[in-house]
Structure formats: structure tokens, C-alpha cells
Chain A
Amino acid sequence: MRGALACICLLLVACGTQVTRIAPQEQVDLSGAWNDTDSRLVAEAMIEDALSHPWITDFHRDEGHRPAVILGSIRNLSHEHINVQAFLADIERALVNSGQVTFVANPQERRQVRDERLDQDLHAQEATRNPAGQELGADFLLNGQINTIIDANDRQQVRYYQVDLSMISLADNRKVWLGQKKIKKRVDNARIRY
């Protein structure tokens, strides 16, 4: 009798929505689509690659200061709605924290900052005002794209993602760094469900 009651309780619990907190680094693949793990893998690979190439040291040697980078556009040319901002934020954070690169604000952020500066001109104490015309110009533009190739039949899919980033010198249009990360996944859809 007690066993039956326990079984019923278990069944009732199984029917309800369950939420479990998991570590952000834990790999969970539900649908096979682009997810946080892919985003992290791409960001890690790109950061490691960008910091291990000589463009930073070359620039530092020639110019005597850290390169200033601006984030350009990352085109999502894939079959999925991918939030590219997530891994770009990771890349930006890691490059800035490495102490080897400076990032400058992108056009949208700049507009906000300039509005704030104008506001300071009117309302802030003179000693605390930040004057216009003192912005740091970028030395490099970081842009790129995400592409996918998908081969699928009714039950299986092979998803191939290729993320390409390039660092372009604003002085002479030279591409000083090309980063690439590939991810390939095989997705087998279930044939039977409950």
C-alpha cells in the first residue's frame, strides 16, 4: 500500500515543472542548435588565437602603445538566429582584461557618451567636465561573420558552423589577424516519444 502511494507521489512529482540550477560552464545540448557552449568555445578559441599572434606586439613596437580596437559588424549568415553579441562580449572582455588591447566604444555607445558629454557641458561643475575632442581613435576594426552548412534528412542533421573574425588596420586596410573556429555537430532526432 505504502509502495503504491510512493509510486503515485513520484508520478505526480514527475508531472510538474522542475527547475534545477546548473553551472554556467556545464554543457547541455537540447536541440542541437547554437547554444551557450558553442558561444563559449568560439570565444575561447578566438581569444587564444588573437593573443598568440604578433599583430599586438608588432603594433606596440611600432607605435609605442596598446592597439585600440573597435567592434564592427558581425554578420549572422547562418541558418539560425544567433545572438552574436554574447560571444563578442566575451571576446571584448578577455582582450581588454589581457591588458594588451584597448577597446573603444562602438557607434551606438559613442552617441550615448557624446550626449552625456553635451549634458555635462551644461550641467556639470567645470572641474568635472569632460571636454569634447579628446576621444581615442581606433587603430583596428574587428568584424566577421558566422556561416553554417546544414545537411539533413528526416531524422538526422549535420550542422557545420564556421565563425570568421578579422582585425583590419584602419590606417591602411591591412588584415592583421584572421581568426577562425569551426564546430560540427551531428543531431539525431528521436523516433519515439512518450
Chain B
Amino acid sequence: MPNQLCCCLGALLLSGCSLSHWGLAPQPPALTNREPSSSLQVLNEAEPASEDRLLHGLQRALFEHLNGHFAASNLLLHGITPQLSELKATSITETLGAGALNETLRAYLPTPSEQALLHQLAMLNYLLLGEPARARVEALQADLLFRRLASAGGLNGQLASTRFVAGLVFEILGEWDNALIAYRDASELLEARDETPPAGLTLSLERMRQQLGLTSPAPSSPAQPAGQELVVLLWQGQISPRVPQQLRLYNPALRQHLAFALPIYAASYPPPREEPITLGDGLWHAMPLENLEQRVREDLARQRPALIAAATSRAFAKFHISREAGATDEILGVLVDLALTLGEVADLRSWSSLPSHILLARIPLPAAPVNLEVEIGGRSTAAPRHRIGLLLLHTASGRLFRYPAIKEPADA
């Protein structure tokens, strides 16, 4: 009898924790609605629950990046990386909490695609800081991650865009063979997913083959060796948030609920839009390199069998706890049933400030040493005159960054 009462009270307490936690889950403002600086301020002032701290760090890292604080962004990302291997261990308390109430009581572990994007963001930060040698370290770590994920099977978390950025880092450092391998991996990933590699990736691959003497350029080929080239990466849109899919059944005879809640993504999402790029008198297009909307849906689909199994066993456990409470005291039974039903919420946490799509263009610059203006997504800047220059545009927030950096802010 006292044990049953303790169980019931425990269930009520846990559900109270869960509901308060649910209400405080860090949801960053949409990129399009507010300035990145005010969004960052909101994130900095938030006090996330311990199980949400890692996700909060990821969101902050992206907003630090959007504010041009690349070193601060990488500091946050470096704080996250060692935690990942720790969080892969099964937590006793979190498993008990998740088994008793819902999945939000588990510490947030980024999905494989999010882990790959973590390294991609770190690489871009280092490039924008003018430290390609440190970006190389992130490229190697991403490779390590991909190898580990590949050993688990399939294309789990394998991102062509992260492979491409790694290739770009190697190319900037003059490591043609490593760059060729990374570009080729990116291309093969797209082909394995029946997606067409963008022209910028094909050209990058061709360039490396030329550098290594594996092919000779045709006289009229656009892949003729060029002095200076501009790589344009676009982080387009903002990824769809996870939404709850809930099922609540009421048994009037037993006066009990059976509740299930799972996270899902909306079936449709905005497709990538090819973005025109004006460079001097020429017109180019950034083409889709990575469909992140699809990647995160694939991540969730892989998690789904485990989530369904956990939700089912939890529903039956809650059913029995409520019945036990009802047998002790009818009002207590109703209260416990209500608390446990309300406590069954879907885990909607995800790195929701990521872009929907990543687009790519690679543009050979004319040999004449003239200053060229690049216009893209309503923003314009002087084209970086370098062997390999990089422009990174976040279309949702309108932020434009460049490598090599110039002294005045690129978005001024």
C-alpha cells in the first residue's frame, strides 16, 4: 500500500517536472523574424534544463556564427564534441525517466546529420577566421565520424555538404589528393541518393583531377585551369520544426487514458530554389548540394522504431500505474491518470536553426585583375580575389561572409 502510494506520487512529481521542462524547452526565434543578434541575446539569457544544454549550445553556436563571432561559435562547438561520446553511454536515470514519462527526460543527443553539420559549421568558422589548418582538423574529425556512422550501415548521417567543405579545406591547403577524395565522396553520396551533383561539385572534382594529372582539360571545357575561383555556399531557409503526433484513447469503463506521442516532420517542405549569382556581367546559379530537410527526416525515420517501442511500453506502464492508483483511491487514480496522460509529450527537440538546403556554385574569375561585384540573394560584395575564395550566404537572415576576410565587415 505505501509502495503504491509512493509510485503514484513519484509519477505525479515526474509529470510535473516534465511539463515544466516542456514549457521551457529552448526554441530559438525564427531566423527570418528577428535579427540574429537579438536571437542570440534570447539564447544567452535562457537557462536550459540540464538535458537540453547540448542542444542549447548548438543553437547558440549557430547564432554566434550568424553574428560573425566565429571564434565564440567554435568555442561552443568544441565544448560539445567531448560530451557526445559521454552521452552515447546509456544513462540509468534518464532511461528510467523516459520509460516512466517521456523522451524529453533524456539528454539531447544530436542526430547523425546534426553531428556532421557540427563539424561543417566548425570548418566554415575556421575558414572565415582565416585558419584553414584548424579547419583541416575538423575535416579529419568529420571523416572519422563518417567512417563510424558508415560502419553502422547505409548512408546514415553521411552529408555530401560536409564532405564538400572538407574537400574545399584540403584544396585551400593545397592537398589535392585529399581534396579529390573528399569531393569524390560527396559526389558518390549524391549519386547513391539518386540526386544530381551540382555543377560546382563536378567542377571541383575536375579541378583536382587536373591538379593530380589524372585528366587533361578539353580546350573549350569550363574546367580549364583558372587562376582564381570563387566558391559560393548558400544556407537556404530554415529547417522545419518537429511537430507532435498524438494519440489519446479513453476507456470510459476503466476511466483511464492510453496516450502515445511521437515527433514527426510535416510531410512537405519548401523545395530548394536555385539562386542566381551575378558576377560582373555574368550570371551563374547556385545549385542544390544537400537537402537537409530530407536528411533530418531520414534521421527521425531511423529513430522511429525505437521511439514507437518505447512509447508503447510506456503507455502500458502508465496504464498499470493509473489502475493501481485507482484501486487505492478513485480520486488519486483520476489525478495520476491525468498527470501521466498530460506528461506523455513528444520529444520535439532538434537543431532547429539549421538551413533547409545547402546550395553550391563554383565560379572561375576572369584573369584580368579587376574588382568584381558579386550579387547574390539581394546582397552584394566585392569578389574575393584569391586562388580559392569563399562566399557564405545565409538566405534566411541575409548574412554574408567571405574568405579570405577583408578588413571592413563583409555585410557592411
Q: Once bound together, how far apart are the Cα atoms of A78 and B140, in whole Å?
A: 8
25 A-B residue pairings within 8 Å (CB atoms):
A75-B133, A76-B133, A76-B134, A77-B136, A78-B137, A78-B140, A79-B137, A79-B140, A80-B137, A81-B78, A81-B137, A148-B140, A150-B144, A152-B147, A153-B148, A153-B151, A189-B86, A189-B88, A189-B89, A190-B86, A191-B90, A193-B89, A193-B90, A194-B91, A194-B92
Q: Please report which residues of chain B, range 347-386, place their CB below 8 angstroms from some CB of chain A when the two chains form the complex.
A: none
Q: A126 on the interface (CB 8 Å rule)?
A: no
Q: Which of under 10, 10 to 19, 20 to 34, or 35 or more describes the interface residues of B?
A: 20 to 34
Instruction: Flag A70-95 by CB within 8 Å of B: 1 or 0 each.
Output: 00000111111100000000000000
Q: Once bound together, how far apart are the Cα atoms of A33 and B81, in whole Å?
A: 11
Q: A109 on the interface (CB 8 Å rule)?
A: no
Q: Once bound together, how far apart are the Cα atoms of A80 and B91, in whole Å?
A: 27
Closest to B85 in A: A189
The answer to whether A79 touches B82 (Cβ under 8 A) is: no
Q: Residues of A contacting B91 with CB < 8 Å?
A: 192-194
Instruction: Flag B83-119 by CB within 8 Å of A: 1 or 0 each.
Output: 0011011111100000000000000000000000000
Q: Once bound together, how far apart are the Cα atoms of A148 and B89, in whole Å?
A: 25
Q: Residues of A contacting B90 with CB < 8 Å?
A: 191-193
Q: Residues of B contacting A128 with CB < 8 Å?
A: none
Q: B312 on the interface (CB 8 Å rule)?
A: no
Q: Once bound together, how far apart are the Cα atoms of A150 and B148, in whole Å?
A: 11
Q: Residues of B contacting A75 with CB < 8 Å?
A: 133
Given contacts A33-B82, A79-B141, 18 further A-B contacts (CB under 8 A): A31-B82, A31-B85, A76-B137, A78-B140, A79-B140, A79-B144, A80-B137, A81-B134, A148-B140, A152-B148, A154-B88, A155-B88, A189-B85, A189-B86, A190-B89, A192-B91, A193-B86, A193-B91
Number of interface residues of A (CB under 8 A): 21
Nearest CB on A from B84, distance (A): 10
Report, nearest first, the 10 A-B pairs whose CB atoms are least far apart: A190-B89, A193-B89, A79-B140, A193-B91, A31-B82, A189-B85, A81-B137, A192-B90, A191-B89, A79-B141
Q: Once bound together, how far apart are the Cα atoms of A78 and B143, in whole Å?
A: 12
Q: B266 on the interface (CB 8 Å rule)?
A: no
Q: Once bound together, how far apart are the Cα atoms of A88 and B392, in whole Å?
A: 36
Q: Once bound together, how far apart are the Cα atoms of A81 and B135, in whole Å?
A: 10
Closest to B151 in A: A153
Q: Residues of A contacting B152 with CB < 8 Å?
A: 154
Instruction: Flag B118-162 by CB within 8 Å of A: 1 or 0 each.
Output: 000000000000000110110011001001100110000000000
Closest to B140 in A: A79
Q: Residues of A contacting B88 with CB < 8 Å?
A: 154-155, 189
Q: Residues of B contacting A155 with CB < 8 Å?
A: 88
Q: Once bound together, how far apart are the Cα atoms of A79 and B147, in whole Å?
A: 14
Closest to B149 in A: A154
The answer to whether A192 touches B89 (Cβ under 8 A) is: yes
